[in-house]
Chain A
Amino acid sequence: MKSDIILAGVGGQGILSIAAAIGLAAASNRLFVKQSEVHGMSQRGGDVQSHLRISDRKIYSDLIPKGKADIIISVEPMEALRYLPWLSESGWIVSNSVPYVNIPSYPPAEEITAEIKKIRNSILFDAESVARDCGSVRSANMVILGAAAPFIGLPLTEIEKAVAGLFASKGEEVVKINLKAFRAGLTVTGRA
């Protein structure tokens, strides 16, 4: 088993929580995990990305080679496109469709949608309204994780357990909302 995942978004959108949930699930499944992240400027509205690799064999490189990523999971649509060179031929894009506009040159949303739709295996949807229905727009990252979960190659129950574990210290209510968000995401992909 081997899964190479690129996580993308803008600082503050919670991609590192997605990485942590998958990482936890993989580790409790006794798999090897490597997760490289870009720190530093993330607080100030810059783009952020993380390379997450899980495997049943030892992983050497912290970086995924180009053309080898199985999934690009993105919390922002333009950010999903930034990492296309990493996507493998059979790879999936799972992305939120709501743009995060904090630059003057942000392209028109329809053009971004059109570019993502060109990728055969792509899932693009409004994760924020799904999250809002679950109780908090801030759990959009867990909605996206839910939608991507069937492609990761880990048992869904393990990922779900990891989501609960990740938010345990923040109280029952937060756990409940994030689990609901994760499950709602799963329903989007139609494989729940």
Chain B
Amino acid sequence: MQKYILLGDEAIARAGVDAGISGMYAYPGTPSTEIMEYVQLLKNKGEVSISCEWSANEKSALETALGMSYTGKRAMAAMKHVGLNVAADAFINSAITGVNGGLLVVAADDPSMHSSQNEQDSRFYGKFAFVPVFEPSGQQEAYDMVFDAFELSEKYSVPVLIRITTRLAHSRAEVTSRRPHPQKQIRLPEDSSRFILMPAIARKRYKTVLGNYEKLKMENRLSKYNVFRDGHNRNLGIIACGLAWNYLMENFSDEQIPYPVLKISAYPFDKDIIMNITERCREILVLEEGYPFVEEQLRGILDDGRRIYGRMDGAIPRDGELTPDIVAKALGISTGSGPRVPDLVAPRPPSFCKGCGHADMFNAITEAMKPYPFNGVFSDIGCYTLAALPPYSAINSCVDMGASVTMAVGAADAGLHPSVAVIGDSTFTHSGMTGLLDAVVKNSNVTVIIADNQTTGMTGGQKSSGTGRLKDICTGLGVDHKHVRTIVPLRKNHEENVRIIREEIDFQGPSVIIASRECIQTAARRKKSENKSETEKDQS
């Protein structure tokens, strides 16, 4: 037993390590990134021997974790909420095959979109795939749940989803650890045919999965996290899910909550635990982070009879993350506020770092595109998306990872010229390569510009799978080597870079320009650590 101060992300990683995982698999994405980084930190310190390299994308991460589970060892896959879209095929089908060694999938949702394209609620994926979901309310609970989730996973041979949101992922508190479990030995599945999802096998497995889902509702272990507390005022009953429970408790600080309260942190839950509170109380308030997942089930399609307050009737805003103030208002508790923000306070949006190569690259692209009537550029997700803001205003799209390439292909099919895609190096290896193959196969008239800063910049500079391999990947996919050009985005190369971009736009067919210059943040960190190891050498 040891005490640590950990982010929610780190608490989950620490628990995974202590529960004896042999592999942690992930692709970076805010707010989930620190889960993998914590395991890598322990490995670099020599404290653990766990496989923990970044995967090319979330689908590879989850499948690799499933492969580890197949051998009987424990594994985890971590991702941000939209990463689970990319891994959805693997996730849903791994529920049908079942697992061998325990398998946990961690999805970090980002309500209010602090750094995401949407605020989807991963609990729906659990229901969709018939996978149990744990939703911790705090760092210690997150740590403890991982142990129970692994046991549940192995008992029912099912992956378990841990759903967290930004506030827990990125908030620190004290966590007490347990005695670590050793890693498991290889023990292959007795019935390995269940991993072959041919229809005849899958049909059988599906029935098992459906049956297990009913059993999961009854599972005692789940109810340990679904706690009911009675109250004397039965005019209102409160159902608080995961983190929402904290905001409820905050509002009553030291007083006893007068209303009956049901805390839900484990799904699926049985009808009985809901009836237990609804039968006792006149009205119900549902507090949950994300979509009205529980509220919608409670109301059902007919939504008649009982008065239910929540996100669907406006008692709580329909979108955005919860706060203690929002919960207070829903409870009719008066809220305070300090002075309002003076009008002179200006927004301070993020922007390219001083000296960032992306800025020079966009200056060249914008100038190269000037002569053409259509000045649009399909782009993607990363630091380079900041070119959407003035003074650049240089890109026209950012949808989902890899979409720049395929949208450019579609637009070229429609006859648009030039059709240019700008995609980061990490985004390219995540989901851009397959689109480029499409472009090669149909000889599409597109120009793909890879913004190669040799790192996954947006999420803090993680290793990028394509570093040093991009040219070979593009020629390997079939792009003519004469049309895989490399430029160095520096001011002094501006004229030459504009010329090269124009040449490739004018070329009829798929071409790639790799704009290669190390991210200045990564470069600065690298130099610092090189200097440090130099001095250490000098001293020894």
Contacts and interface: CB of A to CB of B under 8 A. Distances in A.
A84 B344 CA distance: 13
Tell me the dominant secondary structure on chain B's binding face.
Answer: loop
Nearest to A10: B348
A67 B173 contact: no
Contacts of B349: 46, 103
B69 to A, nearest CB: 30
Interface in A120-170: none
Interface residues of A, number: 52
A85 B342 CA distance: 10
A7 interface: no
A63 B173 contact: no
B348 A36 contact: no
Given A35-B172, A67-B337, A85-B339, A23 B5 contact: yes
A20 B93 CA distance: 43
Q: How large is the interface on B (under 10, 10 to 19, 20 to 34, 35 or more residues)?
A: 35 or more
B172 A33 contact: yes
Contacts of B30: 39-40
Contacts of B337: 66-67, 85
Contacts of A64: 324
Given A44-B352, A57-B254, A67 B338 contact: yes
B338 A84 contact: yes
Contacts of B330: none
Interface in A1-40: 10-11, 23, 27, 32-40
B297 to A, nearest CB: 26
A126 B371 CA distance: 50
B185 interface: no
A93 to B, nearest CB: 10
Contacts of B386: 44
A181 interface: no
A84 B341 contact: yes
Contacts of B508: none
Interface string B3-44: 001000000000000000000000000110110000000000
A66 B250 CA distance: 12
B324 A91 contact: no
Nearest to B336: A67
A13 to B, nearest CB: 12
Nearest to B343: A107
A61 B246 contact: yes
Contacts of A102: 348, 351
A103 to B, nearest CB: 6
Given A44-B383, A66-B325, A84 B172 contact: no
Contacts of A63: 167, 247, 323-324
Contact of B338 (A10, A41, A86): A86
B335 A111 contact: no
Contacts of A85: 337-341
A43 B460 contact: yes
B386 to A, nearest CB: 7
Interface in A32-80: 32-41, 43-47, 57, 59-69, 78-79
B340 A111 contact: no
B5 A33 contact: yes
B46 interface: no
Contacts of B459: 40
A65 B338 contact: no
A10 B243 CA distance: 28
A119 interface: yes
Contacts of B114: 38, 40
B247 A60 contact: yes
B168 interface: yes
B447 to A, nearest CB: 27
A43 B383 CA distance: 11
Interface in B42-77: none
Contact of B351 (A35, A44, A89): A44
Interface string B231-269: 000000000000101110110001000000000000000
B301 interface: no
A189 interface: no
A107 B324 contact: no
A114 B460 CA distance: 37
Contacts of A118: 339
B338 A37 contact: no
Nearest to A61: B250
B407 interface: no
Contacts of A35: 171-173
A45 B250 CA distance: 33
A151 B33 CA distance: 35
B350 interface: yes
B338 A69 contact: yes
Nearest to B248: A60
A164 B461 CA distance: 29
Nearest to B348: A47
B200 interface: no
Contacts of B172: 23, 33-37
A82 B345 contact: yes
Interface in B297-355: 323-325, 328, 335-342, 344-353
Given A57-B254, A60-B249, A63-B324, A37 B170 contact: yes
A112 interface: yes
B164 to A, nearest CB: 12
A34 B249 CA distance: 15
A68 B324 CA distance: 11
**Which 10 interchain pairs have the tightest Cβ spacing?**
A67-B336, A87-B338, A44-B350, A61-B250, A46-B350, A36-B171, A60-B249, A62-B171, A41-B350, A107-B344
Given A81-B342, A103-B348, A107-B344, 14 more contacts: A23-B5, A27-B174, A39-B33, A39-B34, A44-B353, A44-B386, A60-B250, A61-B246, A61-B249, A65-B250, A68-B336, A69-B338, A87-B338, A102-B348
30 contacts: A11-B350, A23-B172, A33-B5, A37-B171, A39-B34, A39-B170, A39-B460, A40-B30, A43-B353, A45-B353, A46-B350, A46-B351, A60-B245, A60-B249, A60-B250, A61-B247, A65-B328, A65-B335, A65-B336, A66-B336, A81-B345, A84-B338, A84-B340, A102-B348, A105-B346, A107-B345, A107-B346, A111-B344, A115-B342, A118-B339
Interface of B: 5, 30-31, 33-34, 114-115, 138, 167-168, 170-174, 243, 245-247, 249-250, 254, 323-325, 328, 335-342, 344-353, 383, 386, 458-460, 521
Interface of A: 10-11, 23, 27, 32-41, 43-47, 57, 59-69, 78-79, 81-82, 84-89, 91, 102-103, 105-107, 111-112, 115, 118-119
